[in-house]
Structure 1
């Protein structure tokens, strides 16, 4: 599967996620072959990126969760939507006890599965919904849980990490909360949760600091390095990667190469945590299409966790003549060719 921009080039491509409208109604089923009507519908719902399958998608997707874990993910998704919309309508969260209980069940199930077959931080849902903030939060929270387990956190600490990520943007979800304060959403969320909920200090600190970065250019306190709590450092990394998976808007207009764009961003994160993260995830999505600096085109075959910007690719267009068609190339062995940009379609 591949993440692509919504455009006329989607014609005859296969949709591989369910798509919902603003009223949470299923409008396009996974497996739909896209035509003009479907493309217009996707654009009208303001989906800028979707997942498709075409002739250049060679990676076989596999179910990474047990049925039990999948059931808890479905339950926690439903509960978080209820919490988020309740917050929007009533100006705050009324009760978290049931939600925290479900997080505990999910974490326990993830840990049991991890002990049998080590997990990777690659959760991708089967559904797309217009409210990307809510859906992305669900993805980042679950992946934070997996990351916490990989880091060796006990169940209680992992639960608090997952809860921190779910609650980090509570100051954004509710305009009623935000209107009471002239402050960043991090401080607004922190104050609301501190006043109305008996939460662990690690959760509150993470909500406050989840936009702080190592070089002191974050907010609201411009903290640096060891002044930033561990949960906030983890959430920063996982949140960046989730946004990168679902949207390439962070890459801008493409004026710079991938290396020039991504390296300054990655340097802002705690490097020890980042290294552990990339060893346990797929940094680039399966079947990502690249333009190379020599104008050749390639499809991702395998990520390289030791050098993110030098993956293994398969050549699908050899414009330069440097490589053979369909040649498998490990870019770590090629000094004069870099990843230039991520592309979506090629004919």
Structure 2
């Protein structure tokens, strides 16, 4: 399978990953043959990229977590975030016992989901991130939080955090953007860059989320600090407190990287997604300024920049499909030539780790 922008999808190709609606119900299942009418329908729900199977990419890639658990996690985050309006209308001191119990139940579901995510990921001894998740506009925040939690867990495992810390990390990542529930939706879904005043309002989501989580007994201090600090930059130029280096909680430094990676690889109203290799390049270029250099090094070892089935253009002009990625050399995968100016090269298999004169120039969506 390979991920391509929806405008590059050709009629007659097959869907490789199920598309879900905003309630987590399958809208179009994997294996469906895509007609122009179906493609236009997908565009109408603001899904702008698809995983497809075609003559160049019939290889399957398993998701890090099962689709059922992913949808369960998204639903739990969505229900928890959506409930905030009910609880924010009165001060915590005026909550009835019934209201307090109801709020606790939402966060218990977050805890349960975090445990399931952790158990499932720990059961895989060779976890690397091969896929980016396809998001719809309406559910972006909830899907984003789940992805950030998954990425943070894998990074935490790479950094050899213990199981208790991994659970706190996962819970904090799942609710790291809970403060956005207090931000007007007109800003969250604005098509185009925010004005200076709008940006100031948007930035308050860190303190608003943290202040809310301080009143949740089931959320540990380690977990809730992530909501406050995930936009702090390593060089001290982030917000809300301009913390730098080790002043920023380690969990927050982990989530900061996962947060930016998932945002960059997601389609947004104002820009299209970057490819995984472009997102990794951005993060590596900003290590020691925006991000912790040591954590960036660990992150670069878990992300697969060119997953199996990806079409790439080589420095000699050939088009190739990625057949396998080597853990220690993610930018030098094994490839097979599918189009060349020299017909004798078509079908040729090359190990880029041994062909140093060839480099991947970019990802190719059409031939």
1:205 Cα offset (Å): 2.1
C-alpha distance in structure 2 between counterparts of 1:306 and 1:266, whole Å: 20
Q: Which runs of 5+ in 1 are unaligned?
A: none
Q: 2:318 aligns with which of 293, 296, 299?
A: 296
- In the alignment, what sits opposite 1:286? 308
- In the alignment, what sits opposite 2:295? 273
Q: 2:334 aligns with which of 303, 309, 312?
A: 312
The superposition leaves residues 274-332 of structure 1 with CA deviations (integer Å, 9 ceiling, x where unpaired) of 3333334423333222222332222222334445433332222223x599222233334
1:230 Cα offset (Å): 1.2
The 3-state SS of whatever aligns with 2:313 is strand
- In the alignment, what sits opposite 2:96? none
Is 1:87 aligned with 2:84? yes
- In the alignment, what sits opposite 1:191? 211
- In the alignment, what sits opposite 2:141? 133
- In the alignment, what sits opposite 1:327? 348
For the 8 Å contact 1:59–1:287, the answer to whether it is kept is yes
Q: 1:264 aligns with which of 273, 282, 285?
A: 285
Q: 2:272 aligns with which of 249, 264, 270?
A: 249
The superposition leaves residues 135-175 of structure 1 with CA deviations (integer Å, 9 ceiling, x where unpaired) of 12212213323433443333321111011111111111333
Give the count of matched residue pairs: 334
1:192 Cα offset (Å): 2.0
1:243 Cα offset (Å): 4.0
- In the alignment, what sits opposite 1:172? 180
Q: Which runs of 5+ in 2 are unaligned?
A: 90-101, 188-197
C-alpha distance in structure 1 between counterparts of 2:2 and 2:335, whole Å: 14
TM score, norm. by length of structure 2: 0.75
The 5-angstrom pairing of residues 61-76 of structure 1 reads 61-62=61-62, 73-76=70-73
For the 8 Å contact 2:118–2:167, the answer to whether it is kept is no
For the 8 Å contact 1:18–1:127, the answer to whether it is kept is no
C-alpha distance in structure 2 between counterparts of 1:100 and 1:54, whole Å: 38
For the 8 Å contact 1:294–1:337, the answer to whether it is kept is yes
TM score, norm. by length of structure 1: 0.79
The 5-angstrom pairing of residues 92-241 of structure 1 reads 94-95=103-104, 96-103=106-113, 105-106=115-116, 109-110=119-120, 113-114=123-124, 118-122=125-129, 129-130=136-137, 131-175=139-183, 182=201, 183-197=203-217, 199-241=219-261
C-alpha distance in structure 2 between counterparts of 1:258 and 1:341, whole Å: 13
- In the alignment, what sits opposite 2:192? none
For the 8 Å contact 1:19–1:27, the answer to whether it is kept is yes
The superposition leaves residues 53-110 of structure 1 with CA deviations (integer Å, 9 ceiling, x where unpaired) of 1111143334766xxx776555433322211332367659933442244145415633
For the 8 Å contact 1:8–1:39, the answer to whether it is kept is no
The alignment's C-alpha RMSD in Å is 3.7
Relative distance call for 1:310 and 1:70 in structure 2 (3 A) is closer
Relative distance call for 1:125 and 1:312 in structure 2 (3 A) is closer
Relative distance call for 1:71 and 1:7 in structure 2 (3 A) is closer
Is 1:342 aligned with 2:363? yes
Report the more deviating stretch, 146-155 or 134-143: 146-155
The 3-state SS of whatever aligns with 1:220 is coil
